[in-house]
Amino acid sequence: MTVAVDLGTTRNGDAAELDLEELLSTRLLVQGNSGSGKSHLLRRLLERSAGHVQQAIVDPEGDFVTLAERYGHVVVDANRTPAELTRIASRIRQHRASAVLNLEGLDAEVQMLCSAAFLNGLFEADRAFWFPMLIAVDEAHLFAPSMSGEHSEEARKASLGAMTNLMCRGRKRGLAGVIATQRLAKLAKNVAAEASNFLMGRTFLDIDMQRAADLLGMDRRTAERFRDLNTGEFVALGPALYRRPEQVRIGPTETHSKAGRPTLAPLPELAPEDLADLVFTASPAEQEAERRQARRGVPGFPPAAAAPSPDPAGPAVATRALLERVSQSPSISEPAEPDDPRSAEERAAAVDAIFAEMLQDPEAAFRPVPVLYQEFLTHCRLKRISGAATDMTAFRRRLSLARAGIGEATDDPEWQAVIERAGELPEEMQGVFMMLARAARDEAECPSDEALARAYGSHSPSRGRFLLSFMDERGLITADRDFRGNRVVTIAGTAWRTKLPQVALDSIDEARARRAARMARKSG
């Protein structure tokens, strides 16, 4: 069955038609600068063919979700896992549902991964569901870039591979690619080369005009024609369109993008000083966001929770009344443990054994404290240990001391003063501070950046350098470097100081010996 899709009119006023059945075998490439009408052309094609063929649209800006209201397309929110998108795509082919993959609001790299998972799901569907399907990809150069850019190589390869499968191998599986791009130079050649139908819109760059003329078999001297095209006008060529280049004008559409074309709006009528006040004065919401961002930037401070939105179901409850309700509510604590026949020393030894077992895991240093605390409670329940030893505060304190290699019970007054001073830091940083204090007390070398980051729970050496500067700025330590660049840390309020690396001392002694030998040879 031959279906003619009405795209608009030609320069002579005749109907500009596209052979839909031929398009399924030969694919389509649309090219034009931003604002030339590419998305409008795709919308016109999708609307006029919606009742004849199954469709799927990869929509990076959310422009085509309005098709769902008029033509029944299923809008697939791409904020899902790759496995979910692949399964959804497979069911779309199975049930022959038209769909719009909405990628709006996602980062470019995430959009590439989501589109790859979705297209792979369509491509890898079971052979029994290889029904004809039109796959429209707007801004195709985002998903099939001609060269690697700022995106990761993994995302680029996945997206480019899916687009290549669509355009090169999709025909036998019933998939017909319709791709739109701003510039042919941005689009991977393997993807662009498989299209046999072309609709070339307004283009200004010389190299793009020449390439478009070459694709359409036009004389390069007539390439200026692309610069004179109006919005919504395209030069068409291909087996599904025309055998010779023909200029067409795309007709109107029944649905429209949510954004639409930019229109002029009146400027605000405010005095310059009022406008300056609006520009330079942060709103209460912005001030609160800045405070939360500042807290996120300091190690050890958790992100501040966003202010809860008012509950429309009922009036807000005062804090005092809420506390009274909680205090009067029945307790849901765990049932009391039976009396432990073990002595305090035996329970302490059991807790020590649990800590030692947990810290033997090399990945324990990188797990969050709440996760480790839950594991600790599980071990305590198995060994029937309860009481103050399992308190969260005690656990954090003991974990910091254990990571620093310091015993919890110490009678040394200097150590007690250092431990109290560590309380000025965020809990996650206290163990790092005490690790430095132990190295300074033992006159050992300063721990490396990797060791400090590991004690903090990070894999990044730069985090270790930041922790040192953070403590130095707050007067808890003094971090210096010798003339060879070796770091020396002094704990404030004490005489504790890390020593220079032994290699550096040996090199100094060797230099002195060589200098003495030279002096001896000169005197002899």
Per-residue pLDDT tens, the chain, 524 aa: give them: 578 999 999 988 899 999 999 999 999 999 999 888 999 999 999 999 998 999 999 999 888 999 998 999 999 988 788 888 999 999 999 999 999 999 988 888 889 999 999 999 999 999 999 999 999 999 999 999 988 777 788 888 999 999 999 999 999 999 999 999 998 888 998 898 889 999 999 988 878 888 888 888 887 777 888 888 999 999 999 999 999 999 999 999 999 887 666 677 788 777 887 788 778 887 777 777 777 666 555 444 444 444 444 444 444 445 445 445 444 544 434 444 455 667 777 777 777 777 777 777 766 655 666 667 777 777 777 777 765 555 666 776 677 666 555 655 456 778 778 877 887 887 667 778 888 888 888 888 888 888 887 777 677 788 888 888 888 888 888 888 765 567 888 988 888 888 876 544 455 556 566 667 766 766 65
pLDDT in the model for residue 310: 44
Confidence at residue 422, expressed as pLDDT on a 0 to 100 scale: 80
pLDDT at site 343? 74
DSSP letter for 446, please. P
What's the 3-state SS for 358-407? HHCCHHHHHCCHHHHHHHHHHHHHHCCCCCHHHCHHHHHHHHHHHHHCCC
- Greatest distance between any 2 Cα atoms in the chain: 110
**Alpha carbon distance 441, 56 (integer Å):** 68
Q: Which residues contact 323 (CB under 8 A, 6 or more apart)?
A: none
Asked if 472 and 452 touch (Cβ cutoff 8 Å), the reply is no
Q: Is 25 helix (H, G, I), strand (E, B) or coil?
A: helix
CATH superfamily of 4-250: P-loop containing nucleotide triphosphate hydrolases (3.40.50.300)
Helix axis angle, 461-473 relative to 427-441, nearest 10°?
80
What residues pair up with 135 in beta bridges, in sequence order? 56, 177
Could you give the angle at the alpha carbon of 503 between the alpha carbons of 501 and 509, nearest 5°? Answer: 110
CB-CB contact of 139 with 186 (8 Å)? no
* Torsions phi, psi for 151 (to 5 deg): -85, 160
Closest CA to 68 of 198, 210, 234, 255: 255
Sole residue written with tokens 């020449």: 210
Q: What pLDDT score does 311 carry?
A: 47
Give the residue among 5, 9, 63, 49 at the shortest CA–CA distance from 234: 9
Burial of 127 (0-12, 13-18, 19+ CB in 10 A): exposed
* Strand spans (E) along 404-518: 477-481, 487-491
Q: How far, rounded to the nearest angstrom, does the alpha carbon of residue 371 sit from its chain's CA centroid?
A: 24
For residue 21, what are the contacts with CB-CB under 8 A and spacing of at least 6? 1, 2, 3
Which residue ranges make up each domain of the chain? 4-250, 352-503
Q: What is the pLDDT of residue 252?
A: 93
| Whole-angstrom distance, CA of residue 299 vs CA of residue 457 | 11
CA distances 394 to 191, 388, 410, Å, are 61, 7, 15
